[in-house]
């Protein structure tokens, strides 16, 4: 019935080498397949063939004798669509029967997305109409001359040839057999002409699509505007099936072209050549050049071209480059002018696109600023990641960004923002023969990923690498961010409460995922989310001293301070030092003073002296999920005050500012030491001896931090308003009990204020920009006092290894006034009130390690946290600090918040103030009611709109202006 309804267009796809299978051998068919194996046009005409053979079926080859074929990843059935009605019928049939539907035109997708095992394939290759629209007008646009409508099966060689007859050109690809309006266009589409006029998708005026309900719809900037935005850069085969697209054309330029290939004799000379080449890229970019280059073996191969260029100017720059490398042979350099783009395409681009081989690629977009400022570093990593012809690898550079690609004026699409700041796209390419083993294939697949990660080393610390999602590796880590760019698609740089209110209302009205960030320190990654709208509070930085604060029946509190959401602790400490005051804050100066740190509880170097940071809060000024501004304290919105004070940030309301207590700044007595043991047995005795003195130093008012790593114990102790002699006496006692160890690097001294201590000892020791996961535990004071040997053993078992990037960090910040609950009505994890230590199992790693290794380390850091649980009485509930924890922690509700009772109470408050879940974040209260991506409530059909498919973001700026 279905086949009849589509005019008998149902066909059976086969792998392209199936005709050579010994079981169904077809002599003529096999002969043709072998002859045409690398012919992209032949491959695009085969319904089951992919351009990259590895995406068909690795066991089916024309190169291996007696190979036998199975269907592999080739679709089971295909519809050879000839009309929109065929597409609609296929979509409805697939939906009705819950079939996996795959879209293909020519099969060029490097990630294999044009096919899938067990799927129904919708083949659009034979929908090939091209129409010239002399005057296109839609959606309030002025008339656009000579637009063209291209159907889904049209290929770029056909477009270029057709347009050349009327002296026009469209912005398209280098490979003539790629579909003009398929995944190429919908993924962005870089082009030999993109620096001249922008990305291919920048030229789109309209789509004609079939959506998942089988309906045919027109999609442009004013009809289905969100879908238009998503289709224009957000990737093919995802949102709807594009039947055709209307794109702009331009008068065809002449092309000035130059090619050269140059070799060096050794690696040192080659690196100098590549550095010299990278140094001229800004010059040629400023002159309007585009092109392609290969860095492989000891050879640099280059093709440059300039639309409507100056042949003499081009030669002058090339001669300058040759002179600076005069010891090398540039005799193969050629430069010439061709009268049209089509002539250039047919002469130099189209002949250089063979297919039919196995290929994996990993790419990176290299920012123009980096190339201009660090040519030597860029060259060094290019050489490090270069190709080797003997192993089938290459490093291909595409000078196709910058120029008009960087021009975002009147371009409202979802193209990866990395394109807008890049100058070149670098692709690490890896091919292989069918004859190599599976183990060798896996090795090469890993190597091509590692080579791309080498390119990341030129980026500033903490920068997010980006790549072209159409030319990328299927196993790329963090692919959402790399393929689609900035993690939050848009951000509001809020400067006032009104900006925050407008943003909250806009996000709620349009069902967007809203993420709150000030400084981005959240260890669980809750300051960002793919496809979200980011509310950035970093520039709300007012600090106000309130000499006498009175509210809610409190007696006057002297010298309270109001801190806005963007203020950081280093700013607070410096400002207060001028009044000889101090607030209870964090050890890292760049952490926001009233963001997630405060709302999660906030331990700090002075916690044992005066309590947790959140214990000092008197009042919040907030925006709730309905966009209302409210005062929150112990008598106004009391339940929300309780929840905000320890129940975690980014969850109940957006804190604009908080009023907190201050105290006269104490002097600080300090002691540091580092001591090593020679073997594991001696180390365990050292740690046991250290744990045994902790109750003594706790009773003396000490606080501090220590690291247990390798065979070393590193310690920083401090005492507010302490006794230097008493501190030294205790340290000497500890040294005497470990007399065989070297304590010569012990230092102790007094500084006159907390700010002095912070600036000298704490702030310099907070580097960032690395990869980090942690798992933490709050260790009860009673356990440390009663079981020091058992505690020491668990600490040694969970200790860090510097060679693997791990550490066990102890924060001696609980007990003392943290344990004092008098007049403290907040939702802080009760584990803090009985603890003496917070122990953090930390794990960092390099970008260069494999995904499997990353997953192993992520598991290990969880297991190390669980090792610390062994000191607890049987049946006890472990607790941890929810701000410094692992995102995959089991039973996180109880561990982060102390008990299910407290968690449920917090959840009820969340549901009261945020009933629709506008504020949702990883392992935050209420997040367990959402799917793992936090975009869909588990008990509802409502789905958060991903901002990457949301056109109306312009309204944000209209509202804020």
User: 138 is written with which tokens?
Assistant: 């839609």
User: Cα–chain-centroid distance for residue 74?
Assistant: 31
d(CA 470, CA 242): 17
| pLDDT block averages, 10 residues each, the chain of length 961 | 90 88 85 89 89 78 71 89 95 92 91 88 95 86 89 96 97 94 95 96 96 94 86 91 97 95 94 96 95 96 95 88 91 88 92 83 93 94 92 94 89 88 94 86 89 90 86 88 71 92 89 89 86 90 94 82 96 96 96 95 97 97 95 94 94 96 96 93 96 95 96 95 88 90 84 93 82 95 96 95 94 96 91 97 87 88 95 93 94 94 95 90 87 66 46 41 43
The CATH classification number of 255-337+362-396+422-484 equals 3.40.462
Q: Where in the chain is the domain with CATH 3.30.43.10?
A: 2-123
d(CA 839, CA 824): 24
User: 207 is written with which tokens?
Assistant: 């789509």
C-alpha closest to that of 235 among 198, 200, 290, 187: 187
For tokens 């310099």, the residue is 764
The strand pairing partners of 945, in sequence order, are: 512
Question: Is 668-752+769-898 a domain of CATH 3.40.462.20?
Answer: yes
Q: Which stretches of 516-669 are DSSP H helices?
A: 569-577, 596-599, 607-610, 638-644
The predicted pLDDT at position 65 comes to 61
The strand pairing partners of 714, in sequence order, are: 674, 707
Give backbone dihedrals phi and psi of 592, rounded to 5 degrees, phi first: -65, 135
* Three-class SS of 296-355: ECCEEEEEEEEECCCHHHHHHHHHHHHHCCCCCCCCCCEEEEECCHHHHHHHHHHHHCCC
User: 406 is written with which tokens?
Assistant: 């960087």
The predicted pLDDT at position 433 comes to 87
The predicted pLDDT at position 958 comes to 44
Q: Which stretches of 334-427 are DSSP H helices?
A: 341-344, 368-373, 375-384, 418-421
d(CA 875, CA 893): 17
Q: What angle do CA 463, 469, 472 make, to 5 degrees?
A: 90
For tokens 């806009």, the residue is 506
The strand pairing partners of 361, in sequence order, are: 429
Judged by phi (left if over 0) then psi (alpha if -120 to 50, else beta), residue 618 lies in alpha
d(CA 367, CA 739): 56
The answer to whether 669 and 719 are in contact (CB under 8 A) is: yes
Q: Where in the chain is the domain with CATH 3.40.462.20?
A: 668-752+769-898
Judged by phi (left if over 0) then psi (alpha if -120 to 50, else beta), residue 500 lies in alpha
The answer to whether 227 and 169 are in contact (CB under 8 A) is: no
C-alpha closest to that of 919 among 630, 930, 491, 484: 930
For tokens 């001896």, the residue is 689
* CATH for 487-665+908-961, options being 3.30.1360.30, 3.30.465.10, 3.40.50.2300, 3.40.50.300: 3.30.465.10
Burial environment of residue 878 by CB neighbours within 10 A (0 to 12, 13 to 18, 19 or more): buried
DSSP assignment of 553-579: TPPPEEEEEEEETT-BHHHHHHHHHTT
- The total number of residues written for the chain in this structure: 961
* R_g over Cα of the chain: 32
Angstrom CA distances, 621 to 174, 499, 594, 629, stand at 56, 14, 11, 7
Quick: pLDDT tens for 79-129: 999 999 999 999 999 999 999 999 999 988 888 898 888 899 999 999 999
Q: Where in the chain is the domain with CATH 3.30.465.10?
A: 130-251, 487-665+908-961
Largest Cα separation within the chain, whole Å, is 98
Which class is 130-251 in CATH?
Answer: alpha beta
Question: Is 2-123 a domain of CATH 3.30.930.10?
Answer: no
The answer to whether 30 and 63 are in contact (CB under 8 A) is: no
The predicted pLDDT at position 652 comes to 95
The answer to whether 89 and 5 are in contact (CB under 8 A) is: yes
User: Cα–chain-centroid distance for residue 878?
Assistant: 32
d(CA 777, CA 528): 25
Q: Where are the beta strands (DSSP E) in 137-254?
A: 144-151, 168-169, 204-210, 216-219, 241-247, 250-251
C-alpha closest to that of 837 among 715, 680, 673, 686: 715
- Laid out side by side, the sheet with 255-263 consists of 334-338, 255-263, 299-307, 290-296, 393-399, 422-432, 358-367
Helices (H) and strands (E) in the chain, counts: 31, 35
Angstrom CA distances, 214 to 13, 357, 638, 929, stand at 24, 36, 52, 31
d(CA 241, CA 146): 25
Does residue 407 sit in helix, strand or coil? coil
């Amino acid at each position: 019935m279905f086949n009849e309804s589509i005019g008998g267009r149902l066909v059976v796809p086969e792998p392209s080498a199936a005709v050579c299978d010994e079981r169904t051998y077809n002599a003529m068919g096999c002969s043709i397949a072998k002859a045409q194996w690398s012919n992209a046009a032949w491959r695009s005409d085969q319904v089951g063939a992919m351009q990259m053979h590895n995406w068909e079926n690795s066991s089916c080859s024309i190169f291996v004798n007696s190979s036998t074929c199975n269907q592999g990843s080739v679709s089971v059935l295909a519809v050879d669509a000839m009309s929109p009605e065929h597409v609609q019928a296929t979509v409805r049939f697939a939906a009705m029967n819950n079939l996996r539907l795959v879209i293909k035109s020519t099969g060029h997708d490097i990630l294999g997305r044009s096919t899938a095992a067990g799927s129904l394939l919708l083949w659009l290759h034979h929908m090939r109409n091209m129409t010239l629209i002399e005057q296109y007008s839609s959606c309030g646009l002025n008339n656009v001359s000579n637009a063209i409508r291209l159907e889904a099966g049209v290929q770029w060689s056909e477009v270029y040839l057709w347009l050349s007859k009327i002296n026009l050109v469209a912005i398209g690809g280098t490979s003539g057999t790629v579909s003009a309006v398929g995944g190429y266009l919908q993924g962005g589409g870089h082009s030999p002409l993109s620096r001249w006029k922008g990305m291919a998708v920048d030229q789109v005026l309209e789509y004609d699509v079939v959506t998942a309900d089988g309906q045919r719809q027109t999609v442009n900037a004013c009809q289905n505007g969100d879908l238009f935005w998503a289709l224009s850069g957000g990737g093919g085969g995802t949102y709807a099936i594009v039947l055709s697209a209307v794109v702009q054309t331009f008068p065809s330029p002449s092309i000035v072209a130059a090619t050269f290939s140059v070799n060096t004799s050794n690696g040192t000379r080659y690196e100098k050549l590549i550095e010299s080449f990278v140094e001229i890229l800004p010059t040629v970019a400023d002159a309007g050049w585009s092109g392609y280059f290969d860095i492989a073996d000891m050879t640099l191969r280059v093709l440059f071209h300039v639309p409507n260029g100056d042949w003499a100017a081009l030669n002058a720059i090339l001669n300058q480059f040759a002179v600076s490398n005069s010891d090398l042979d540039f005799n193969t350099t050629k430069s010439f002018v061709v009268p049209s783009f089509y002539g250039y395409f047919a002469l130099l681009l189209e002949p250089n696109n063979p297919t039919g081989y196995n290929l994996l690629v990993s790419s990176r977009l290299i920012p123009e600023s980096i190339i201009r400022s660090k040519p030597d570093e860029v060259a060094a990593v290019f050489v490090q990641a270069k190709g080797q012809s003997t192993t089938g690898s290459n490093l291909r550079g595409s000078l196709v960004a910058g120029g008009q690609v960087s021009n975002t004026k009147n371009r409202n699409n979802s193209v990866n923002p990395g394109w807008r700041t890049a100058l070149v796209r670098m692709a690490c390419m890896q091919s292989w023969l069918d004859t190599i083993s599976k183990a060798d294939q896996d090795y090469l697949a890993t190597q091509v990923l590692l080579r791309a990660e080498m390119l990341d080393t030129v980026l500033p610390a903490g920068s997010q690498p980006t790549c072209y999602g159409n030319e990328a590796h299927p196993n790329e880590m963090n692919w959402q961010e790399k393929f689609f760019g900035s993690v939050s698609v848009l951000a509001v740089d809020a400067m006032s409460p009104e900006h925050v209110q407008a943003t909250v209302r806009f996000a709620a009205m349009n069902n967007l995922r809203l993420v709150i960030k000030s400084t981005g320190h959240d260890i669980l990654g809750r300051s960002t989310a793919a496809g979200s709208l980011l509310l950035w509070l970093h520039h709300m930085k007012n600090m106000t001293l309130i000499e006498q604060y009175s509210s809610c029946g409190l007696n006057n509190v002297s010298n309270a301070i109001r801190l806005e959401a963007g203020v950081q602790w280093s700013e607070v400490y410096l400002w207060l030092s001028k009044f000889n005051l101090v607030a209870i804050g964090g050890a890292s100066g760049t952490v926001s003073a009233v963001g997630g740190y405060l709302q999660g509880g906030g331990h700090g170097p002075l916690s044992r002296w005066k309590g947790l940071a959140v214990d000092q809060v008197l009042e919040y000024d907030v925006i709730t999920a309905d966009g209302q501004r409210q005062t929150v304290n112990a008598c106004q919105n009391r339940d929300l005050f309780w929840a905000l004070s320890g129940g975690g940030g980014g969850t109940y309301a957006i804190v604009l500012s908080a009023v907190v207590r201050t105290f006269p700044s104490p002097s600080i007595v300090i002691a540091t030491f580092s001591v090593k043991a020679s073997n594991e047995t001696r180390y365990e005795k050292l740690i046991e001896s250290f744990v045994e003195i902790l109750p003594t130093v706790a009773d003396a008012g000490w606080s501090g931090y220590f690291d247990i790593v390798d065979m070393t114990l590193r310690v920083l102790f401090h005492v507010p308003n302490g006794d230097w002699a008493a501190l030294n006496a205790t340290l000497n006692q500890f040294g005497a009990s470990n007399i065989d160890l070297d304590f010569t690097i012990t230092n102790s001294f007094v500084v006159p204020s907390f700010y002095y201590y912070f600036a000298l000892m704490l702030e310099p020791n907070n580097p960032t920009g690395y990869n980090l996961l942690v798992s933490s535990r709050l260790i009860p004071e009673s356990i440390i006092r009663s079981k020091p040997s058992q505690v020491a053993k668990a600490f040694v078992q969970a200790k860090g290894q510097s060679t693997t990037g791990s550490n066990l960090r102890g924060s001696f910040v609980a007990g003392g006034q943290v344990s004092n609950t008098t007049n403290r009505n907040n939702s802080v994890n009760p584990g803090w009130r009985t603890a003496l230590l917070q122990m953090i199992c930390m794990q960092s790693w390099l970008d260069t390690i494999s995904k499997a290794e990353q997953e192993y380390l992520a598991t290990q850091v969880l297991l190390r946290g669980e090792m610390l649980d062994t000191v607890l009485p049987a049946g006890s509930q472990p607790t941890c600090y929810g701000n410094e924890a692992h995102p995959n922690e089991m039973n996180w509700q109880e561990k982060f918040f102390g008990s299910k009772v407290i968690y449920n109470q917090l959840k009820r408050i969340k549901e009261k103030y945020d009933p629709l879940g506008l504020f949702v974040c990883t392992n935050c209260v209420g997040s367990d009611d959402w799917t793992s991506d936090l975009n869909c409530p588990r008990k509802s059909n409502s789905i958060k709109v991903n901002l990457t498919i949301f056109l109306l973001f312009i309204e944000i700026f209209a509202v804020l202006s």
